[in-house]
Structure 1
Amino acid sequence: MSARKTDVRKNWLIVISAMFILSPIVIFITFSKTEGLSSQQKVENRTQALSTTATFFLGLAVMIHAYVAAKRVEASQKSAIAAEKTNEIETQNTQLAQERLIAERFMTAITQLGHESVATRTGAIYALERVAQDCPKEYWTVMEILTAFVRENGERNRQEEETEEKPARIRTDIQAALSVIARRDAEKDQPNQKINLRYADIRGADLHKANLQQADMRGANLTEVDLRGADLCEADLDGAKLSGALLYEANLQSTNLADANLCGANLNRAWVCAANLRAANLTGATLRGANLQGANLYKANLQGSNLKGTNLQGAKLFLANLQGAKLGKANLQGTGLIGANLQQANLNGANLQQANLNAAKLQQTEVFFANLSEASLREADFRGANLMGTNLQMAILHEANLCGANLMGANLNATNMSDVKLEGAILTGVKNLEPHQITLALGDDTTRLPDNVQLPTHWTRIG
C-alpha cells in the first residue's frame, strides 16, 4: 500500500472521528436553549434533539457500512487481479513446459529417423505426426522432414527381393511416412509451398484417399500405386510413372499429367476435368465413366484404351492416338480431334455433335448410330468404316474419304458432301439424301446408292 493511500485513509478517519465527537455537542447546544419555552415546547425540543441525534448516527452508520463494503469490494478486486496474474503465470509456465516437451519429442524423433531398425524409424514417423498435431507451428516442418525422408530413401525403398513376376513391396517406414503425408491438413500448408515428392520412388504404395492437393510429384515413380479416391487436384505429375496405378474415382481436376506414363492405369469414374494430359501415355488404360471435360490430350496415346461412357466434352485430342480405343456411348460433343488416329476404334452410340475431326483417321472404325450432326469432317479418312444409322445431319464432309464405308440408314440431311470420295461406299437406305449432294460427291458404279437416286453422269463407270 502506498504512503499516499495511507494518508488519505488517515484523513478520512480523522474527519469521521471529529464528526462523531462534535456532532452530538452541536446538537446538544442547539437544542439546550430552552429559556422562555413552555413545558410542552421543552418536551418537543428534547424529542426533536433525540430524533436528530438518532438520524445523524443512523446516517453515520450507513456511511461507515458503505465505506467498509467498498473496501471489501476493493480487496476482492485486488484478490481477483492477483489470482488472474497467478493464472497467467501458471499458463505461461505450462506452455513453456509443453513447448520444451514438444521440442524434446521433436529432436528425439528426428534422431530416430536414422536408426537401423525399421520399427524405430516407423515409431519416429508417427511421433512426428503427433508433434504436428500438438504444435501447429511445427506442422509444415514435419511435412518437409517426412517428404525429404521419402525422397532420400526412394532408391532403397524396396524390400529385399524383386522379380518381374513379383514386384518388391514398399518398405514399412516409407509407407508409414506416406500415410502421414496422406492425412495432411492442406489448410495448414505454408503459403506458396507444396508437398515435395519430386522423383520419389514409391512404387506399390498405398495412397488410398490420400490428400495430395497441389503436390509436386514431377518425375515420381508411382507404378501400381493405389490412389483410389485420392485428391490430386492441381497436383503436378509431369513425367510421372503411373503405369498400372489405381486411380478409381480419384480427383485429378486441373492436374498436370503431361508426358506421364499411365499405361494400363485404372481411371474409371475419375474426375479429370481440365487436366493436362499432353503427350501422356494411356495405352490400355481404362477410363470408363471418367469425366475428362475440357482436358488437354494433345498427342496423347490412348491406343486400346477403354473410354466407354466417358465425358470428353470440349476436350482437346488433336493428333491423339485412339487406335482400337473403345468409345461406345462416350460424350465427345464439341471435342477437338483434328488429325487424331481413330483407326479400328469403337464409337458406337457416341455423341460427336459439333466435334472437329478434320483430317482424322477413322479407317475400319465402328460408328453405329453415333451422333455426328454439325461435326466438321473435312478430309477425314473413313475408308471401310461402319457408319450404319449414324446421324450426319449438317455435318461437313468436304473432301472426306468414305471409300468402302457403310452408311446404311445414315441421316444425311443437309450434309456437305462436296468432293467426298464414295467409291465402293454403301448408301442404301440413307435418309434425307438429295440429288445435288450426290452430284457434288465423287464416286463410281461400285457405289451403292438408294433406289431413288441416279448415278451421276460424271462419275466413273468401271463396269
Structure 2
Amino acid sequence: MSDNKTDTPRNSFIFLISFTVFALFIISSVMVAYFLWDISPSDERLKNEMEALKTTATIFGVIAVLINAYYAAKRWEAMDKSADAANKTAKAALQNAQAAQDKQITERFAKAIEQLGNEKIETRLGAIYTLERIAKDSKDDHWTIMEVLTAFVRVNAPLKLQEEVKKEEVLKLRTAIRVVITVIERRHRENDLEDSMIDLSETNLSEVNLNKVNLQGANFIGTNLQAAEFKEANLQQANLSSANLEDAYLRKANLQEANLTGTNLQRAKFPGANLQEANFLGANLQGAYLSGANLQGANFWGANLQGSSFSGANLQAVNFQTADLTGAYLEETKNLEQQQIESAKGDRTTILPENLQPPEHWKTKVLPFEPQR
C-alpha cells in the first residue's frame, strides 16, 4: 500500500513535467517558424516552414520515446516485483509443504515403532514395511531406520532365547526377522552413512534362510548362524569372526576378504564359493567341504582343517602355516605348491596331489593291523 501511495503523486509530477516540456517545445517551434517566416525572403519561407515542422516532429518523437521508455521501465519494475512476490509465495508454500511432510513422517515413524512390538505378526510386518517406505521417502531418516531394524533383530533374537518363549512365538519372530533382513538388503545403499555397517552381531539366526541376500560388509561377530543357508549370498568383507556357522550351507556364496577369525565352520559347505583373501585365522573347519571354491590368497594360519575336502579348489598363495591338515583331501586341488604345506600339520591320512610329498615332520600313524616295530 505504501508503494502505491508514493507512486501516484510521483507519476502525476512526471506527467506534468513531460507535458510542460512538450508545450514549451511546441511554442518554441512556432516562434522560430514565425521568426523565420518574417525575416526570410518570400522564396525561402516555404522551405524554412518545412524545416521548422520537421524539427517540431523530431522533438515530439523524442519526447514520445522518452515517455514510452519511462513507462516501459515502470512496467518491468512492476513485473519484477510481481515475480519476487510469486517466488516468495512459492518458497513459503514449499516450506509449509516440507514441514507438513516432516510432521507426517514423524507420525508414521512413531506409529510404526509402536507397532513393531505388537503380538500380531501381520501388524509387525506392516510396521517393518512402513519403516522401509519412510527410509525410501526420507534420505535423512534412512540410516536411523536401518539401525532401528537391526536393533529389532538383536533384541528379539538374542543368543540365548528365554526357555519360556513358545515355539509359535519363535516362528513368528523368525518370519519378522527374515522380512527385516530382506528390507535391509534392498535398501538404497547410497544413503548409508560413511563407514557404517549393518550390525547383526550377537544374535541367534540359526537355520535362517539367507539365500541370495546382499549383506556386504555386515557385522556378524559372535552370531549364531548354525545350519543357516547362504546360497549365492553376498557376504563380501563381512565380519563373521567368532560366529557359529556349523553345518551352514554357502554354495557359490561371495565371502571375498571376509573375516572368519576364530569362526566355527565345522561341516560347513562352500562348494563353488568365492573365498579369495578370506581370513580363517584359528577357525575350525573340521569336516568342511570346500570343493571347487576359490581360495586364492586365503589365510588358514592355525586353522583346524582336519578331514576337510578341497577337491577342485584353487589354493594359489594360500597360507597353511601351522594349520592342521590331518585327514584333509587335497589330491585334486589347483595351484598348491610344496612350500605351502611345509609348515602345516598333517600325517599319512592327508591326501596330497601326486606332485607333492608329505613334509618330513609329519608323523606316520600306525594302523591297528600293522605290526609295530
Q: TM-score, normalised by structure 2?
A: 0.86
Q: Deviation at 1:82?
A: 1.4
Partner of 1:26: 28
* 1:364–1:124 distance in 2 versus 1, CA, 3 Å: closer
CA deviation string 1:50-102 (max 9, x = no partner): 11111222222222222222222222222222111111111111111111111
The residue that corresponds to 2:120 in the other structure is 117
The runs of 5 or more residues in structure 2 that have no matched partner are 366-373
By relative contact order (CA 8 Å, sep 6+), the higher-ranking structure is 2
CA distance in 1, matches of 2:132, 2:246: 30
Aligned to 1:148: 151
1:203 aligns with 2:206: yes
1:263 aligns with 2:266: yes
Contact 2:136 2:188 in 1 (8 A): no
Bigger mean CA deviation after superposition, 25-34 or 307-316: 307-316
SS in 2 for 1:35: helix
> Equivalents in 1 of 2:326, 2:171: separation in Å?
33
- Distance in 2 of aligned mates of 1:305 and 1:378: 19
8 A contact 1:312–1:331 mirrored in 2: yes
Equivalent residue, structure 2, for 1:130 = 133
Q: Determine the structure 2 residue equivalent to 1:278.
A: 281
Show the 5 A alignment for 1:251-330.
Answer: 251-330=254-333
The 3 A distance-change label for structure 1 pair 365 and 282 is closer
Work out the number of aligned pairs and report it. 359
Are the aligned partners of 2:326 and 2:345 in contact in 1 as well (CA < 8 Å)? Answer: no
Q: In 2 relative to 1, CA 330–360 (structure 1 residues): closer, same or farther, beyond 3 Å? A: same
* Partner AA of 1:221 in structure 2: N
Specify which of 235, 249, 259 is matched with residue 232 of structure 1. 235
Q: Contact 2:305–2:326 at 8 Å: present in 1 too?
A: yes
CA deviation vs aligned residue, 1:392-434 (integer Å, no higher than 9, x gap): xxxxxxxxxxxxxxxxxxxxxxxxxxxxxxxxxxxxxxxxxxx
Amino acid at match of 1:20: F
Q: Which residue of 1 aligns with 2:360?
A: 379
Q: Is it true that 1:160 corresponds to 2:167 in the alignment?
A: yes
1:359 to 1:316, Cα distance in 2 relative to 1, 3 A: closer
Instruction: Name the structure 2 match of 1:15.
Output: 17
Task: Please tell me whether residue 357 in structure 1 is matched to residue 338 in structure 2.
Answer: no
The code of the aligned residue for 2:210 comes to L
Q: Render the CA deviation track for 1:90-148: whole Å, top value 9, x for unaligned.
A: 11111111111111110000000111111101110111111111111111111111111
Aligned-partner residue type, residue 55 of structure 1: T
Rounded Cα–Cα distance in structure 1 between residues aligned with 2:235 and 2:99: 38
Q: Is the 8 A contact 1:276 1:296 kept in 2?
A: yes
TM-score normalised according to structure 1 size? 0.70
Deviates more, 1:103-112 or 1:148-157: 148-157
Q: Distance in 2 between matches of 1:18 and 1:196?
A: 85
Give the gaps of 5 or more residues in structure 1: 333-350, 385-463
| CA 100–156 in structure 1, closer or farther in 2 if over 3 Å, else same | farther
Q: What is the rounded CA distance, in whole Å, between the counterparts of 1:276 and 1:50 in structure 2? A: 103
Contact 1:360 1:379 in 2 (8 A): no
Cα contact 2:292–2:313 (8 A) shared by 1 = yes
Task: Give the 3 Å change call, closer, same or farther, for CA 365–230 of structure 1 in structure 2.
Answer: closer
- Is this contact kept in 2: 1:259–1:279, CA < 8 A? yes
Tell me the CA shift for residue 201 of structure 1.
0.7
CA 1:63/1:324 → structure 2, altered by over 3 Å: closer, same or farther?
Answer: same
Which position in structure 2 is the counterpart of 1:241?
244
